[in-house]
């Protein structure tokens, strides 16, 4: 989906022709934020001007039905640092962020929401950690200004995510994050996986750190995130765990499950034979025959799915010339001379 929405991105020659490399790209996904976008962009641009580093602001309109784009257009007409990508419909935050990243040109990419709940000055402390050598700096809404049920559910989801992924963060859902460009430039994210970029980075050897950031109360508009998102996040966690542990060897998970079912079917069959010839009880009157056939059938199907998944994975890597590993560096004799 991220590929689909990034096919027709506008050229950023107005930034590239300045002669210097953009240091910071701020990517902001927007969906019906006409009530707050003037304040958000105004405050952000004032901070970036004071900050001094060459920067750009990439707004991504994710299918807004209000006057969000028109309001952003006023800033574009006055400030060459601002551009806006309009998606054809509402694709979701992950796709919007990926479109913004593809359009950006900065060495460091900072993402933030356009609802006014984040403080642009916190970008400075995120950049300090990037300058120290970290690859991902993730914001942490330590004092979160949201409803109590939302905060409690978020803490539960973050706790589960930390345990499942093995990456200890307090707030995966905080959109205010800073990334080195090479961390996110080649990622292809779908669904709602944008919040788990720190996990992907950590798994590939990236240095990840978390910093507390300010979180304000929403001054206008409505939150675009419902409680149903919690369940989608849990499903995404299952997905990324599979991608991390079994993407390169799917037969291990499908085959393992299949063998367990087949073993259960074999056990039911053996018990049925025991009842018939040892206990003298007719197993025809029990559910054992049906259970035996069902379990063995499910097990066989699962093993076959694993074999097909192995073929798909090999086709995926070999057809695109990809490798199932990342080389961090190559040390040679000349390097030590």
DSSP 267: H
DSSP 318: H
Mean of the per-residue pLDDT values of the chain: 81
For 308, the token pair is 């097909």
Under 8 Å between Cβ of 121 and 193: no
Of the candidates 214, 225, 248, the one whose C-alpha atom is nearest the C-alpha of residue 123 is 214
Under 8 Å between Cβ of 209 and 169: no
Please, what is the end-to-end C-alpha distance for the chain in angstroms?
48
Quick check: 68 pLDDT over 70? yes
Quick check: 191 pLDDT over 70? no
Under 8 Å between Cβ of 136 and 123: no
Residue range 96-134, pLDDT digits in tens = 898 899 899 999 999 999 988 999 999 999 999 999 999
Quick check: 14 pLDDT over 60? no
User: Cβ atoms within 10 A of the Cβ of 245, count?
Assistant: 11
For 89, the token pair is 């419909």
Under 8 Å between Cβ of 97 and 62: no
Quick check: 7 pLDDT over 70? no
Q: 246 versus 201: which is more confidently predicted?
A: 201
Of the candidates 126, 148, 154, the one whose C-alpha atom is nearest the C-alpha of residue 138 is 126
Of the candidates 42, 82, 87, the one whose C-alpha atom is nearest the C-alpha of residue 64 is 87
Residue range 145-172, pLDDT digits in tens = 777 777 787 787 777 777 777 788 888 8
The position carrying tokens 């006409």 is: 34
Q: How far apart are CA 147 and CA 271, in angstroms?
A: 55
């Amino acid at each position: 989906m991220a590929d689909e929405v990034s096919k027709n991105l506008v050229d950023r020659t107005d930034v590239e022709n300045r002669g210097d490399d953009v240091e910071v790209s701020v990517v902001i996904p927007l969906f019906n934020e006409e009530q707050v976008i003037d304040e958000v962009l105004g405050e952000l641009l004032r901070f970036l001007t004071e900050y001094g580093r060459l920067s750009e602001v990439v707004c991504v309109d994710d299918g807004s039905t209000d006057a969000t784009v028109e309001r952003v257009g006023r800033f574009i007409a006055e400030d060459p640092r601002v551009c806006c990508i309009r998606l054809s419909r509402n694709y979701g935050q992950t796709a919007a962020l990926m479109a913004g990243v593809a359009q950006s040109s900065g060495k460091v990419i900072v993402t933030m929401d356009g609802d006014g709940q984040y403080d642009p000055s916190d970008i400075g402390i995120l950049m300090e950690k990037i300058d120290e050598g970290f690859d991902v700096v993730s914001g942490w809404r330590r004092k979160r200004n949201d409803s109590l049920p939302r905060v409690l559910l978020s803490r539960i989801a973050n706790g589960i995510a930390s345990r499942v992924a093995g990456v200890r963060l307090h707030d995966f859902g905080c959109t205010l994050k800073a990334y080195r460009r090479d961390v996110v430039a080649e990622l292809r994210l779908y669904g709602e996986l944008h919040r788990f970029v720190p996990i992907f980075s950590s798994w590939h050897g990236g240095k990840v750190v978390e910093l507390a950031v300010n979180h304000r109360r929403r001054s206008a508009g409505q939150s675009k995130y419902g409680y149903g998102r919690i369940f989608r996040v849990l499903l995404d966690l299952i997905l990324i765990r599979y991608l991390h542990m079994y993407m390169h060897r799917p037969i291990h998970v499908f085959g393992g499950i299949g063998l367990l079912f087949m073993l259960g079917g074999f056990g039911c069959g053996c018990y049925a034979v025991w009842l018939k010839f040892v206990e003298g009880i007719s197993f025809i009157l029990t559910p054992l025959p049906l259970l035996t056939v069902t379990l063995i059938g499910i097990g066989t199907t699962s093993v076959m799915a694993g074999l097909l998944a192995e073929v798909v994975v090999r086709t995926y890597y070999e057809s695109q010339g990809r490798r199932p590993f990342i080389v961090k560096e190559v040390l040679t004799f000349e390097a030590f001379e």
